[in-house]
Amino acid sequence: MGDNSGNSIDLDENSFLSEKCDTNDHSDDHLSSLLLLNALPQQVWTADETGAITYVNKMICHDFGFNQETIIAHGWQSFVHPEDLPESISRWQEALHSGKDYTTEFRLRFADGHYYWHLARAVGIKRDGKPNIWVGTNTNIHDQKNNEQRKDEFISIASHELKTPLTTIKGYNQLMLRQVSEGKIKALLERSAGQVDRLEKLIKDLLDVSKINAGKLLFNYESFDFSEMLHQTIAGMQAIFPSHLIKLETDIQLAYNGDRYRLEQVLQNFLSNAIKYSPGADTVNVTASLADGNIIVSVKDDGIGIAAENLGKLFERYYRADNSSSRFDGLGLGLFISAEIIKRHSGSFWIDSEPGKGSTFSFKLPVDPQLQIEAEIRTESYYKDRYIRIYCPKESEIMHVEWTGYQDMRSVKHGGSLMIDYLRKNSRSKVFNDNRLVPGTWSEASDWAAEVWLPLMELAGLRFFAWILSPSAFSQLSARKSVDNKNKSAEISFFNSAEEGMDWLEKQAL
């Protein structure tokens, strides 16, 4: 199944590139190719397999104000803004390592001494399955970047300005409500207060998003009673939304160290969504529990549900599923903000949902984010901790891996690294990767797995990988994303049944 197609370029059709852009080669083909690249009104460059620049076109020389030799001798890094350099270097290294396309945004210093935002992209041209030449472009996105920044600044200023008169209106509303007795006016005032609250929430969300974009969403960590926070938030939401009964089915008692206000915000968002997207129902169930040193909170509704193909996009900014955008109002910001808050508490989130039947939104927070993962058993061929079990039975070609419980970035990286070690030390090339005991965690480690872990597994000897899926659709998305590397050479297949997975693995000939 080695997928070597993708965006890769066939060397034979671009033979001038395989000569590493030797400007002394005057063959007709070569010259016309160089003329073509030089005529492009865009920065074009090539690099070798080590990442060193081998060619830059005329546009680059013009923009930077140096000739080709000087730019190649100094390297591209000397023209990148120092603040953007670490990220660009790490992405470039990742691309060189994995063979995957390179994309980054950075500011480049031009001959006029100013920096301009560019979008850099490069693809590796393969020979024998490995890229040995990279062809890249830098597109000027300065105006677009500035416009985005201006838009964020405008949103930030506008929401600040809107907040002040709104707070005053809210105050007057409360004063009036206190002074009128039961009756028609009071009912009208209550409805008006409800709308003011909605407006206030929209403005707060806009403000938070502009802060997240500017990296300025501040957190105030302190120890608080988690159960009291749950009760208070639920009581507050129940008062605003009498249409549904919010039931706290299970509770936990513990002092948790985090930003109470921000976590209330996550819960409020999950609860208001559960109510908003279940117009035909009358209850919302909340559970809180402790598992493997994690607090797990779930909010379940009997509402419209979400189609599996939309699950992965819900936590993006401004995303709204098709079945809700026209029927329910909202800006599509709440989950984006919630995701950021949970991430900043080293937690993760996931969704179980079925269209027409309802959804359960869950988040998990580690009680002690610094807690080490301890091995319970560790021998040459057997390893076990609370997240993973790896064993390599004698006289078998297969390494068995069993993941258990709620995973996160840290546990996946830890377990994934052990898999590489055990695979190599036990000279195995087939892996039976069992995820049946993993609940619906959206692991943020998927990108790491695809870009770093999978190539290292292949280097350690991986040829065939049977992935037995977790029953959760959200976890399945994360599984597929973890092996989404078009340069992979191992064969990876997904199964719902362990027996089918094992059958497939045993049939593969090495």
- Minimum CB–partner distance for residue 201 and ligand ADP (Å): 9
Comparing CB distances to ligand ADP, the nearer of 288 and 335 is 335
Comparing CB distances to ligand ADP, the nearer of 56 and 275 is 275
Q: What are the φ/ψ torsions at residue 181 (nearest 5 degrees)?
A: -90, 175
Identify residues 263-282 at the interface with ligand ADP (CB under 6 A).
269, 273-274, 277
Which of 137-145, 316-324, 368-376, 475-483 is the region at the interface with ligand ADP (rule: CB under 6 A)? 316-324
Query: Is there binding between residue 331 and ligand ADP (CB under 6 A)?
Result: yes
Query: Is there binding between residue 133 and ligand ADP (CB under 6 A)?
Result: no
Comparing CB distances to ligand ADP, the nearer of 274 and 401 is 274
- Minimum CB–partner distance for residue 208 and ligand ADP (Å): 12
Question: What does the block give as tokens for 486?
Answer: 């078009």
Which of 219-227, 235-243, 323-331, 427-435 is the region at the interface with ligand ADP (rule: CB under 6 A)? 323-331
How far apart CA 380 and CA 401 sit, in angstroms, is: 15
333 close to 318: Cβ distance less than 8 angstroms: yes
- Minimum CB–partner distance for residue 473 and ligand ADP (Å): 14
Query: At 275, which amino acid appears?
Result: I
Query: At 82, which amino acid appears?
Result: P
Among 208, 301, 302, 340, binds ligand ADP (CB under 6 A): 301
Query: Is there binding between residue 208 and ligand ADP (CB under 6 A)?
Result: no
Residue pointed to by tokens 């930077």: 64
- Minimum CB–partner distance for residue 356 and ligand ADP (Å): 11
Of how many residues is the chain composed? 510
Closest C-alpha to 274, from 308, 254, 253, 297:
297
Residue pointed to by tokens 């379940």: 300
In this structure, the dihedral spanned by the alpha carbons of residues 407, 412, 413 and 414, taken in order and rounded to 10 degrees, is 80
Question: What does the block give as tokens for 80?
Answer: 């990148």
- Minimum CB–partner distance for residue 309 and ligand ADP (Å): 13
Query: Is there binding between residue 131 and ligand ADP (CB under 6 A)?
Result: no
Size of the site for ligand ADP (CB under 6 A): 22
Query: Is there binding between residue 303 and ligand ADP (CB under 6 A)?
Result: yes
In Å, how far are 33, 335, 356, 441, 445 from 271, measured between CA atoms? 60, 12, 18, 20, 27
Question: What does the block give as tokens for 82?
Answer: 């120092």
Identify residues 474-493 at the interface with ligand ADP (CB under 6 A).
none
Comparing CB distances to ligand ADP, the nearer of 114 and 198 is 198
How far apart CA 81 and CA 106 sit, in angstroms, is: 7
Q: Furthest-apart CA pair in the chain: how many Å?
A: 94
Query: Is there binding between residue 297 and ligand ADP (CB under 6 A)?
Result: no
Query: Is there binding between residue 285 and ligand ADP (CB under 6 A)?
Result: no
Which of 16-24, 43-51, 181-189, 317-325 is the region at the interface with ligand ADP (rule: CB under 6 A)? 317-325
Query: Is there binding between residue 209 and ligand ADP (CB under 6 A)?
Result: no
Packed helices 260-276 and 226-240: angle between N→C axes, nearest 10 degrees: 40
Q: DSSP character for 80? A: B
Query: Is there binding between residue 330 and ligand ADP (CB under 6 A)?
Result: yes
Q: Number of helices (H) and strands (E) in the chain: give both, helices first.
A: 16, 19
How far apart CA 225 and CA 221 sit, in angstroms, is: 13
Among 138, 348, 359, 476, binds ligand ADP (CB under 6 A): 359
- Encode 46-64: b = buried (16+ Cβ within 10 Å), e = exposed: bbbeebebbbbbbbbbebb
Comparing CB distances to ligand ADP, the nearer of 2 and 279 is 279
Comparing CB distances to ligand ADP, the nearer of 159 and 269 is 269
Q: Which residues bind ligand ADP (CB under 6 A)?
A: 269, 273-274, 277, 301, 303-306, 314, 319-321, 324, 330-336, 359
